[in-house]
Every structure is written in C-alpha cells, then in structure tokens.
A and B are shown apart, each in its own frame.
Chain A
Amino acid sequence: MVRLSVLAITAVAVIAIPEAQAVDTANNAAETEVVTVTGETTGSLTSLSPEESAKQKRQVPGAFTVKTTDDMELGRASNFEDLLQRTPGVFLQSENGVEVSKISIRGSGITSEDEPLGVIFLLDGLNFNQGDGESVLEDFDVAALSHAEVFRGADAFKYGALTLGGAINLVPLTGTMRRHFKCGLKAEVMASSVAT
C-alpha cells in the first residue's frame, strides 16, 4: 500500500511539471491581477453582533425581533422601556418613569404586580433571572447593551419550560464592538402645578 501511494505522487509530479512549463513558454507576459481579499474579523464568539443575531430570523420558526440600541438612542435611552418599546407583543410599564418594573410578552403574567412572569431574561444566553425567577432589570444598564433579541411564544422554550411569554436575550457590548470612549449626559425637566 505504501509503495502504491508513493508511485501516485510521483506520477502527478511528472504530469504537472511539463504543463506548467508549457503555460510559461506560451504566454511570457502573462500577468495576473493582484487580488486583495479583505474581511472583517468575526468579532466576539460569545456576544454576537446585531447583524449576526438578525440571521437567526431564518432559523427561528416563530416570532423573533432584534432591537438594537442604535434605534433607542434616537430618542431617550435610559431604561428598558426605551429599548423594547414598539416590539410586537411586548408590553412594558414603568412604575416611576425611570425603571421598568412590569414586562409582559403576549399577556404573560399580566396580573402580576411587579414581577415579570413567564418571561426569561438572558445575558448572552445565560440566565439573568434570580433564583426565584424574578428578574431585576434595574441591575443592568442599557448603555452597556448592544442589542436585545426577543423570542416570543414557543421559541423561548429552549431557554426554559416556564417561559410561556417569551425570552429576551440581552447582548452586551464588548471590546470588539465598541473600541472608543463614549460619554453622555441626559437631563429631563418636568414641571407641573397642582391647583388646590
């Protein structure tokens, strides 16, 4: 067997050399164009870029939305209501105007006072909910987010059996996505008077 394979290699070499010479002599001035192949680095493997996340639309059979913080920063960008508003099927309510305390997808946990029920929050696919199932979103700064993937309905079952409403996967920014320093200041003034 070994002998046979050695033979085969020599045979190929013998055939290839005359061919190469033939091309060389036939066209002396043959110059090939320089082909420059450029490509972007794939970025992070753990935190996908919004473009990579959006590709899941072809794989997820049900309702799936990617909300990027670029859309959010057109307006006020201070809490999850600003990020996830106008996502189909997602209902958010803020108790005090600053923090989102109530999140419901497709009516899940709609009678719950302040704990999102049936909605699982993930950070890069890892469970972000607390041990009792409650998710405290105030712990997370939306300024650190790249985008959020919203899985509605049965698509969220891959993240847990109790995710009847859906799953929201938060993808934070990484060094590969944000390579510059950014500083922002936001101020809101609200005036009201009460007639007594």
Chain B
Amino acid sequence: MSGGAVQGQFDEFGAIGFRAREGFREHSREDTEILFADLGYKFSDQVENRFYLTMDQGQQESAGRFDEVRNGKRPFAG
C-alpha cells in the first residue's frame, strides 16, 4: 500500500508492505512488515529538504543445506 500528497511546501509519501510466506520446504517461513516514508519541504525553488524513514520488522527462517542425512541421523538414506 502506498500513497502520497502535496500540501503547500510539504510533500509526503508513505508505503507499507506485508509479506507472508510458507515456503516450498521446511524452515523457510517468512513474515515481514516494511514501512517507508519520506517527507520533503521546499524552502525555495532551489532548496529542498527531505527526511526518510525506513522501518523493517521480520521473522525469517533460513533453510540451509545441512540436512538430516548430513547430520548423521540417516546416514544411508538418499
């Protein structure tokens, strides 16, 4: 979701995103929220200031190459 507006000398924009994923294998679940916003102020035709805000929160499982076979639990599998 994103939106922006201009109010006089100010201009603002914001975007927020949600991402949820089950993954195609185990330990690849993900749950992320991302926020980005920027606020600009035009002092004159030549001077402009801008603030950025980035926020990110996420839980991610990272599946690796280390599996049960390599772990020795099932040494004769595969």
Cα A124 to Cα B30 with chains together (Å) = 29
Question: How far, in angstroms, from A96 to B25 measured CA to CA in the complex?
Answer: 10
Give the Cβ gap from B1 to chain A, nearest Cβ, in Å.
5
Q: Which of A28-36, A155-163, A179-187 contacts B (4 or more CB under 8 A)?
A: A179-187
B36 and A96: CB pair below 8 A?
no
In the complex, per-residue mask of A150-185: 1 if CB is within 8 Å of any chain B CB, else 0: 000000000000000000000011111111111110
B3 at the interface (CB under 8 A from A): yes
- Verify if A27 is at the interface (C-beta below 8 Å from B): no
- How far, in angstroms, from A141 to B56 measured CA to CA in the complex? 9
Contacts of A139 in B (CB 8 A): 34, 54, 56
A187 to B27, CA, bound (A): 20
A127–chain B nearest beta-carbon distance, Å: 12
Is the Cβ of B4 less than 8 Å from the Cβ of A143?
no
Task: Give CA–CA (A109, B30) in the complex, Å.
Answer: 27
Check: B52 CB closer than 8 A to any chain A CB: yes
Residues 23-52 of chain B, each 1 if its beta carbon lies under 8 Å from chain A, else 0 = 110001010101110101010011111101
Q: Is B69 an interface residue, CB under 8 A from the partner?
A: no
Could you tell me if B42 and A45 are in contact, using CB atoms closer than 8 angstroms?
Answer: yes
**Considering only CB atoms, which chain B residue lies closest to A126 in the complex?**
B52
In whole angstroms, how far apart are the Cα atoms of A174 and B12 in the complex? 6
| Binary CB contact string for chain A from 64 to 98 against chain B (1 if under 8 A, 0 otherwise) | 00000000000000100000000000000001111
- Which residue numbers of A lie inside 8 Å of B, CB to CB? 42, 44-47, 78, 95-98, 123-124, 138-141, 143-144, 172-184, 190, 192
Binding site for A on B (CB under 8 A): 1-7, 10-13, 15-17, 19, 21, 23-24, 28, 30, 32, 34-36, 38, 40, 42, 45-50, 52, 54, 56, 58, 60, 62-63
Which 7 A-B pairs rank lowest in CB-CB distance, beginning with the nearest?
A: A175-B11, A181-B3, A144-B15, A144-B36, A178-B4, A45-B48, A175-B4
